[in-house]
Amino acid sequence: MSHHHEHSHTHSTNKKVLKVSLVIIALYMLVEVVGGLWTNSLALLSDAGHMFSDALALGLSLLAFHLSERPSSSKRTFGFKRFEILAAAINGLALVLIAVLIVYEAIGRFAHPPEIATWGMLIISVIGLVVNMVVALYMLRGGETHDNVNMHGAYLHVLGDLLGSVGAISAAILMMMFGWRWADPLASVLVALLIAKSGWGILRTTIQILMEGTPVEADTHHLQATILAVPGVLAVHDLHVWTITSGLNALSSHVVVNGELSVREAEQVVAEIERVLQDNNIHHSTIQTESPQSGHRHDLFCQLHQHKQQNHESQHHH
């Protein structure tokens, strides 16, 4: 219970941090769009593109937190907790697309570099740097940027933005000192690479979760050994470990116990397994007990063939 309460507390602080950051970033993004069009700087516009992806990330994270607080129902037994992962995936995809657009525009500019109002560009990008530093520090102070995939993603965006502003500042200075007009499209390509990198990273993590992959912090063989070490457990098979949403890992498994145990004794073994799994970062476990004579195949990982699944069903229901 305390764990859950603590979870909802960090949830609300995360939400507040996201809301404040979202407002600051959205406002500044507008400044950069106007500034980019006025000074004719692609580096500023690409920074604004990055800011937009930030705002999108923060907005989706907020929506995800909001939805994940909805209660579970008969239609969705895990509630909307998975939406967070879906939101992160959409966000990752959006980032990759923005990056492609910026590179496309930059290629044209390398060929015909336009005139750029460098002073305006310098001033706006310096303000951008300050805004991003403030937001990044605020997120580090206020939110759990390390443990939550959503908060972590949003924080990485802001850091990327910070580098984007540095790129725009450097480009403005190079153009003022040496008249190198190609510095502007170059800076924007660097920002685009940053955007693509964070987008791809987010996509990789979310695809692993959506594919019901084993969580990064869980090692199936270690978990099997942990369950086997519980007194009364003779064998472990059909082990599945997956992530429901960040910070919520689930496990299901069949364990073989002595067939002579009473139901209550078997329950005590299961309760002990669940307690041990809690210590191993598994927050939701479903354990099925069987006697050695149950006739189930004892593979550690269930081989899900269509016809075998039907056998499974018929064995469970008699």
* Residues paired with residue 250 on neighbouring β-strands, in sequence order: 242, 284
What CATH number belongs to 220-317?
3.30.70.1350
pLDDT at 241: 92
Buried b (16+ CB within 10 A) or exposed e, 14-29: bbebbeebbebbbebb
Cβ partners under 8 Å of residue 47, min gap 6? 32, 36, 125, 128, 161, 164, 165, 167, 168, 191
- How much is the average pLDDT of 137-148? 79
Of residues 14 and 125, the one with the higher pLDDT is 125
CA distance 103 to 185: 8
- pLDDT exceeds 50 at position 308: no
- Band the pLDDT of 297: cuts 50, 70, 90: low
pLDDT in tens, 50-91: 888 778 778 877 887 777 777 777 777 666 778 778 888 888
- Band the pLDDT of 7: cuts 50, 70, 90: low
Phi, psi of 211 (to 5 degrees): -85, 10
pTM: 0.69
pLDDT at 314: 42
pLDDT at 9: 61
User: Across the chain, what does the average pLDDT equal?
Assistant: 83
Tokens representing 234 are: 């003779």
- How much is the average pLDDT of 187-213? 86
pLDDT in tens, 210-219: 888 888 778 8
Every domain of the chain and the residues it spans = 2-210, 220-317
What CATH number belongs to 2-210?
1.20.1510.10
Cα angle: 221, vertex 306, 82; to 5 degrees? 60
Of residues 118 and 147, the one with the higher pLDDT is 118
pLDDT in tens, 217-254: 788 889 999 999 999 999 998 999 998 877 789 999 99
Rounded to whole angstroms, what are the CA distances from 234 to 229, 230, 296?
Answer: 9, 9, 14
How far out from the chain centre does Cα 36 lie?
Answer: 30
- Band the pLDDT of 266: cuts 50, 70, 90: very high
Rounded to whole angstroms, what are the CA distances from 32 to 45, 47, 80, 131?
Answer: 7, 7, 35, 12
- pLDDT exceeds 70 at position 203: yes
Q: Are 65 and 150 in contact (CB under 8 A)?
A: yes
Q: Evaluate whether 2-210 and 220-317 have a shared fold.
A: no
Alpha helix segments (H runs only) across 179-252: 183-210, 220-228
pLDDT at 61: 75
- Comparing 114-118, 239-243, 283-287, 302-306, the range with the smallest average pLDDT is 302-306
- How much is the average pLDDT of 189-196? 87
Rounded to whole angstroms, what are the CA distances from 139 to 13, 133, 148, 157?
Answer: 10, 10, 12, 11
- Band the pLDDT of 310: cuts 50, 70, 90: very low
Q: Are 236 and 300 in contact (CB under 8 A)?
A: yes
CA distance 31 to 22: 14
Beta strands in 166-318 (DSSP E): 233-245, 248-257, 284-290
Instruction: Report the DSSP pairing between strands 248-257 and 233-245.
Output: antiparallel
CA distance 60 to 218: 27
pLDDT at 8: 58
Q: Are 187 and 168 in contact (CB under 8 A)?
A: yes
